[in-house]
Amino acid sequence: MHIRLLAVGDRQPSWVEDAFGTYTERFPREWKFRLDTIPTVRRNKNDKSRQAMETEGEHILAKLNPTEQVVLLDERGEQQTSRSLASRMSDWQSDGRNLCFIIGGPDGVSEAVRLRADQLWSLSQLTLPHGLARALLVEQLYRAWSLQTGHPYHRD
């Protein structure tokens, strides 16, 4: 199974890159993990339209493979424990399809992206900056892998 993160926002602070790299370097090789970024569409200061989000949504959908299993990170999604994520990862791996996580832009994602998602996952009820969501996602994926394999990283 290949896993990738498709994220809107191509520039992140160095601490995000450091945290992201710390965990992705630990991922098992068979995941063939990849980060694909989409530049954030420029927004005007007083623009309340949804045009930027729709444009970002078109870019997201264009980068998705029709056979990929898509998990959208969304505040309205289901929350999970680390153990339930490990179990869900096992289910995803058994499914045989590649897996793509999506982090949308500053205004979220278009309805078309939401409809394409196979699952909605909420990392927290808190609103998280996108860089922190990236770091938290890869840490939790690593933790799920450690639970699956009996690695001592996770402690109850």
Q: Is the distance from CB of 19 to CB of 139 less than 8 angstroms?
A: yes
Asked if residue 156 belongs to a domain, the reply is no
Q: What average pLDDT does the segment 29-43 reach?
A: 93
**DSSP alpha helix (H) spans, the chain:** 14-24, 51-63, 82-95, 111-116, 130-149
Distance CA 101, CA 72 (A): 6
Long-range contacts of 88-92 (CB under 8 A, 24+ apart): 88/144, 89/141, 89/144, 89/145, 89/148, 90/148, 92/1
Residue 14 resides in a domain = yes
Taking residue 116's Cβ as centre, other Cβ atoms within 10 Å add up to 18
Q: Is residue 66 part of a domain?
A: yes
Neighbours of 10 (CB within 10 A): 9
Give the per-residue pLDDT at 47: 73
Residue 88 lies in a domain: yes
* Mean predicted confidence (pLDDT) in 29-51: 88
pLDDT the model gives residue 57? 96
| Mean pLDDT (whole number) for 67-75 | 95
Residue 71 maps to which CATH number?
A: 3.40.1280.10
Residue 10 falls inside a structural domain: yes
The residue-averaged pLDDT of 48-70 equals 93
Asked whether 107 and 53 are in contact (CB, 8 A), the reply is: yes
Q: Confirm whether 45 is domain-assigned.
A: no
Main-chain dihedrals φ then ψ at residue 6, nearest 5 degrees: -110, 110
Question: Domain span at residue 83?
Answer: 3-40+51-149
Total domains in the fold of the chain: 1
155 lies in a domain? Answer: no
Tell me the per-residue pLDDT of 80-123, one tens digit each, with 9 for 90 and over: 999 999 999 999 989 889 999 999 998 899 999 999 999 999 99
Q: Taking 90 as the threshold, does the pLDDT of residue 132 lie above it? A: yes
Bigger pLDDT: 1 or 85?
Answer: 85
Residue pointed to by tokens 């922190």: 132
How many Cβ atoms are within 10 Å of 88's Cβ, its own excluded? Answer: 16
- What pLDDT sits at residue 154? 81
What is the band of 55 on the pLDDT scale with cuts at 50, 70, 90?
very high
Confidence at residue 3, expressed as pLDDT on a 0 to 100 scale: 97
Residue type (1 letter), 28 = P
**Average pLDDT score, the chain:** 93
Asked whether residue 46 is assigned to any structural domain, the reply reads: no
